[in-house]
A and B are shown apart, each in its own frame.
Chain A
Amino acid sequence: MRASHVWDLGIKELRGLARDVMLLILIVHSFTLSIYTASTALPETLNQAPIAIVDEDQSPLSRRIVDAFYPPHFLPPRLITPAEMDQRMDAGFDTFALNIPPDFQRDVLAGRSPAIQLNVDATRMTQAFSGSGYIQSIVTSEVSAFVQRYRATATPPVDLALRARFNPELNKAWFGSVMNVINSITMLSIILTGTALIREREHGTIEHLLVMPVTPFEIMASKVWSMGLVVFAASTFSITVVVQGFLAVPIDGSIALFLLGAALQLFATTSMGIFLATVAGSMPQFGLLLMLVLLPLQVLSGGSTPRESMPELVQTIMLAAPNTHFVMLAQSILYRGAGFEVVWPQLLALAAIGMLLFGLSLARFRRSLK
Chain B
Amino acid sequence: MTAPTRPPAVRLEAVGLSYGRVRALESVTLDLPAGGVVGLIGPDGVGKSTLLSLIAGARRVQDGRVEVLGGDMADAAHRRAAGPQIAYMPQGLGRNLYPTLSVFENVDFFGRLFGHGRRERERRIADLLDSTGLGPFADRPAGKLSGGMKQKLGLCCALIHDPDLLILDEPTTGVDPLSRRQFWDLIDEIRGGRPGMSVLVATAYMEEAARFDWLVAMDVGRVLAAGSPGDLMERTGTASLDETFIALLPEEKRRQHRPVHIPPRPPAAAADIVIEAEGLTMGFGDFVAVDHVSFRIGRGEIFGFLGSNGCGKTTTMKMLTGLLPASEGTARLFGQPVDPRDLGTRRRVGYMTQSFSLYGELTVRQNLELHARLFHLPAASMDGRIAETARRFDLAEVLDALPDALPLGVRQRLSLAVAMIHAPEILILDEPTSGVDPVARDALWQMLVDLSRRDAVTIFISTHFMNEAERCDRISLMHAGMVLVSDTPAAIREQRGAATLEDAFISHLEEAIGGAEQAPPRVIEPAAAAVPTSAARRFFDPRRMFSYTRREALELQRDPIRATLALLGSLILMFVIGYGINLDVDELTFAALDHDQTTTSRDYVQNLAGSRYFREHAPIASHADLDRRMRNGELSLAIEIPPGFGRDVARGREVAIGAWIDGAMPQRAETARGYVQGMHAHWLETRARTALGDAALATDFRLETRFRYNPNVESLVSMVPAVIPLLLLMIPAMLTALSVVREKELGSIVNLYVTPVTRLEFLLGKQLPYVGLAMFNFGLLAAAAVFVFGVPFTGSFLAFAVGGLLYVIAATGFGLLISTFMGSQIAAIFGTAILTMIPAVQFSGMIDPVSSLQGAGAFIGQIYPTTYFMTISRGTFSKALGIEDLASAFGPLFVIGPVLLVVSALLLKKQAR
Given contacts A121-B708, A157-B649, A170-B663, contact A295 B576 (CB under 8 A): yes
**Distance of A158 Cα from B656 Cα, bound (Å):** 6
On chain A, the number of residues with a Cβ less than 8 Å from chain B's Cβ atoms is 115
Give a binary string over B539-581; 1 marks a CB under 8 Å from any A CB, 0 the rest.
0000000000000000000000100010001001100110111
Residue B485 is within 8 A (CB to CB) of chain A in the complex: no
Residue B265 is within 8 A (CB to CB) of chain A in the complex: no
Task: List which A138-190 residues lie within 8 A (CB) of chain B.
Answer: 139-140, 143-144, 147, 155-168, 170-172, 174-175
Contact B848 A127 (CB under 8 A): yes
**Chain A neighbourhood of B671, CB < 8 A:** 129-130
Contact of B580 among A104, A126, A296 (CB under 8 A): A296
Given contacts A16-B359, A291-B833, contact A305 B649 (CB under 8 A): no
Residue B686 is within 8 A (CB to CB) of chain A in the complex: no
Give a binary string over B325-356; 1 marks a CB under 8 Å from any A CB, 0 the rest.
00000000000000011011011010101110
Give a binary string over B198-227; 1 marks a CB under 8 Å from any A CB, 0 the rest.
000000000000000000000000000000
Contact A15 B366 (CB under 8 A): yes
Given contacts A15-B362, A121-B709, A122-B718, contact A170 B666 (CB under 8 A): yes
Contact A172 B668 (CB under 8 A): no
**Distance of A296 Cα from B347 Cα, bound (Å):** 45
Residue B512 is within 8 A (CB to CB) of chain A in the complex: no
- Of the listed stretches B21-29, B456-464, B673-681, chain A binds B673-681
Residue A256 is within 8 A (CB to CB) of chain B in the complex: no
Contact of A126 among B284, B584, B826, B847 (CB under 8 A): B847
Given contacts A90-B875, A207-B353, contact A305 B655 (CB under 8 A): no
Contact B704 A174 (CB under 8 A): no
Residue A58 is within 8 A (CB to CB) of chain B in the complex: no
Give a binary string over A314-341; 1 marks a CB under 8 Å from any B CB, 0 the rest.
1000000000000010011001111000
Residue B787 is within 8 A (CB to CB) of chain A in the complex: no
**Chain A neighbourhood of B709, CB < 8 A:** 121-123
**Chain A neighbourhood of B273, CB < 8 A:** none
Residue B361 is within 8 A (CB to CB) of chain A in the complex: yes
Task: List which B837-877 residues lie within 8 A (CB) of chain A.
Answer: 845, 847-849, 851-854, 871, 874-875
Write the nearest CB–CB distance from B287 to chain A, whole angstroms. Answer: 13
Contact B704 A12 (CB under 8 A): no
Residue A213 is within 8 A (CB to CB) of chain B in the complex: yes
Residue A208 is within 8 A (CB to CB) of chain B in the complex: yes
Contact A310 B582 (CB under 8 A): yes
Contact B708 A113 (CB under 8 A): no
Task: List which A186-207 residues lie within 8 A (CB) of chain B.
Answer: 203-205, 207
Contact B674 A133 (CB under 8 A): yes
Residue A67 is within 8 A (CB to CB) of chain B in the complex: no
Contact A335 B670 (CB under 8 A): no
Give a binary string over B689-705; 1 marks a CB under 8 Å from any A CB, 0 the rest.
00000000011111111
Contact of A208 among B322, B353, B361, B561 (CB under 8 A): B353
- Of the listed stretches B244-252, B368-376, B891-899, chain A binds B368-376
Given contacts A162-B659, A213-B374, A308-B587, contact A123 B710 (CB under 8 A): yes
**Chain A neighbourhood of B665, CB < 8 A:** 175, 306, 331
Residue A210 is within 8 A (CB to CB) of chain B in the complex: yes
Contact B670 A162 (CB under 8 A): no
**Distance of A11 Cα from B847 Cα, bound (Å):** 45
**Distance of A360 Cα from B825 Cα, bound (Å):** 28
**Chain B neighbourhood of A337, CB < 8 A:** 631
**Distance of A115 Cα from B576 Cα, bound (Å):** 41
**Distance of A19 Cα from B588 Cα, bound (Å):** 50
Contact B587 A342 (CB under 8 A): no
Contact B677 A162 (CB under 8 A): yes
Contact A159 B704 (CB under 8 A): no
Q: Which residue of B lies closest to A294 (CB)?
A: B833
Give a binary string over A330-359; 1 marks a CB under 8 Å from any B CB, 0 the rest.
011001111000100000000000000000
Contact B581 A299 (CB under 8 A): yes
Contact A309 B585 (CB under 8 A): yes
**Distance of A86 Cα from B630 Cα, bound (Å):** 46
Residue B669 is within 8 A (CB to CB) of chain A in the complex: yes
**Distance of A95 Cα from B670 Cα, bound (Å):** 20
**Distance of A148 Cα from B427 Cα, bound (Å):** 99
Contact B583 A213 (CB under 8 A): no
Among A8, A49, A208, residue most surrounded by chain B Cβ atoms (within 10 Å): A208
Contact A310 B580 (CB under 8 A): yes
**Distance of A119 Cα from B705 Cα, bound (Å):** 6
Residue B409 is within 8 A (CB to CB) of chain A in the complex: no
Contact of B572 among A158, A292, A308 (CB under 8 A): A292
Give a binary string over B743-776; 1 marks a CB under 8 Å from any A CB, 0 the rest.
0000000000000000000000000000000000
Contact B702 A118 (CB under 8 A): no
**Distance of A170 Cα from B738 Cα, bound (Å):** 43
Contact of A156 among B577, B658, B684 (CB under 8 A): B684
Contact B662 A160 (CB under 8 A): no
Residue B103 is within 8 A (CB to CB) of chain A in the complex: no
Contact A211 B677 (CB under 8 A): no
Task: List which B767-799 residues lie within 8 A (CB) of chain A.
Answer: none
Residue B401 is within 8 A (CB to CB) of chain A in the complex: no
Write the nearest CB–CB distance from B627 to chain A, whole angstroms. Answer: 9
- Of the listed stretches A223-231, A235-243, A260-268, A282-290, chain B binds A282-290
Given contacts A292-B573, A305-B581, contact A92 B701 (CB under 8 A): no
**Distance of A119 Cα from B702 Cα, bound (Å):** 14
Contact of B849 among A90, A127, A165, A328 (CB under 8 A): A127
Contact B701 A204 (CB under 8 A): no
Residue A362 is within 8 A (CB to CB) of chain B in the complex: no
Q: Which residue of A lies closest to B325 (CB)?
A: A366
Q: Which residue of B lies closest to A50 (CB)?
A: B851
**Chain B neighbourhood of A95, CB < 8 A:** 849
**Chain B neighbourhood of A305, CB < 8 A:** 580-583, 667
- Of the listed stretches B72-80, B160-168, B809-817, B878-886, chain A binds B878-886
Contact A47 B848 (CB under 8 A): yes
Contact A115 B871 (CB under 8 A): no
Given contacts A113-B701, A166-B663, A310-B579, contact A212 B353 (CB under 8 A): no
Residue B271 is within 8 A (CB to CB) of chain A in the complex: no
Contact of B705 among A12, A111, A118, A310 (CB under 8 A): A118
**Chain A neighbourhood of B830, CB < 8 A:** 287
Residue B34 is within 8 A (CB to CB) of chain A in the complex: no
**Chain B neighbourhood of A309, CB < 8 A:** 582, 584-587
Contact A284 B825 (CB under 8 A): yes
Write the nearest CB–CB distance from B799 to chain A, whole angstroms. Answer: 12
Residue A233 is within 8 A (CB to CB) of chain B in the complex: no
Contact B633 A120 (CB under 8 A): no
Among B573, B589, B698, B707, residue most surrounded by chain A Cβ atoms (within 10 Å): B707
Contact A123 B717 (CB under 8 A): yes
Residue A311 is within 8 A (CB to CB) of chain B in the complex: yes
Give a binary string over A1-35; 1 marks a CB under 8 Å from any B CB, 0 the rest.
00011001100100110011000000000000000
Contact B657 A160 (CB under 8 A): yes
24 contacts between A and B (CB under 8 A): A45-B670, A47-B852, A48-B854, A104-B701, A108-B700, A113-B699, A115-B701, A120-B706, A126-B848, A140-B703, A157-B652, A158-B684, A160-B659, A160-B676, A164-B663, A170-B663, A204-B353, A207-B323, A211-B323, A283-B825, A292-B569, A299-B581, A305-B581, A338-B631
A residues near B, CB below 8 A?
4-5, 8-9, 12, 15-16, 19-20, 43, 45, 47-50, 75, 89-95, 104, 107-108, 111, 113-130, 132-133, 135-136, 139-140, 143-144, 147, 155-168, 170-172, 174-175, 203-205, 207-215, 283-285, 287-288, 291-292, 295-296, 299-300, 304-306, 308-311, 314, 328, 331-332, 335-338, 342, 366, 369-370
Beyond contacts A91-B886, A161-B658, A207-B318: 17 other A-B pairs, Cβ-Cβ < 8 A, are: A19-B361, A92-B874, A113-B698, A129-B583, A139-B701, A159-B657, A160-B659, A164-B673, A174-B666, A175-B666, A211-B351, A285-B561, A287-B825, A291-B833, A305-B580, A306-B668, A336-B662
Give 8 nearest A-B pairs by CB, closest first.
A167-B663, A204-B357, A164-B663, A287-B829, A299-B580, A122-B710, A48-B852, A213-B343
